[in-house]
């Protein structure tokens, strides 16, 4: 009987570790807005620094799969919010 209790406890811990983390409504909106922005076009960043070793420049460009598929950014946003709310990942806080 003790072994059964230990097994059930371990399974419960494993399952709770696999669930997606909760987001507040504001965090969910920001997360989905970022996905929609990525679907609207390539995202990039430029960096320039000056130090004792001289100047250093960097560039970073990323392209999302939603952009490559031609997905509408508003549809990406709505789909993201619907998935988060249906999966119970948006907390009421």
User: What was the pLDDT predicted at 5?
Assistant: 58
The confidence score (pLDDT) of residue 14 equals 56
3: pLDDT strictly greater than 90: no
CA angle 29, 63, 32 (to 5 degrees): 10
- Segment 37-56 mean pLDDT: 93
Give the other-Cβ count within 10 Å of 33's Cβ.
15
Mean pLDDT of the chain: 85
Q: Is the pLDDT of residue 69 over 60?
A: yes
Cα distance between residue 84 and residue 35, in whole Å = 13
Which has the minimum average pLDDT: 8-12, 53-57, 71-75? 8-12
């Amino acid at each position: 009987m003790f072994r059964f209790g230990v097994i059930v406890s371990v399974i419960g811990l494993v399952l709770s570790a696999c669930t997606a983390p909760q987001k507040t409504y504001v965090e969910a909106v920001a997360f989905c807005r970022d996905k929609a922005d990525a679907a609207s076009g390539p995202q990039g960043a430029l960096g320039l620094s000056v130090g004792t070793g001289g100047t250093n420049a960097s560039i970073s460009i990323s392209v999302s799969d939603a952009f490559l598929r031609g997905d509408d950014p508003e549809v990406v946003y709505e789909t993201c919010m619907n998935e988060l709310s249906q999966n119970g990942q948006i907390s009421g806080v």
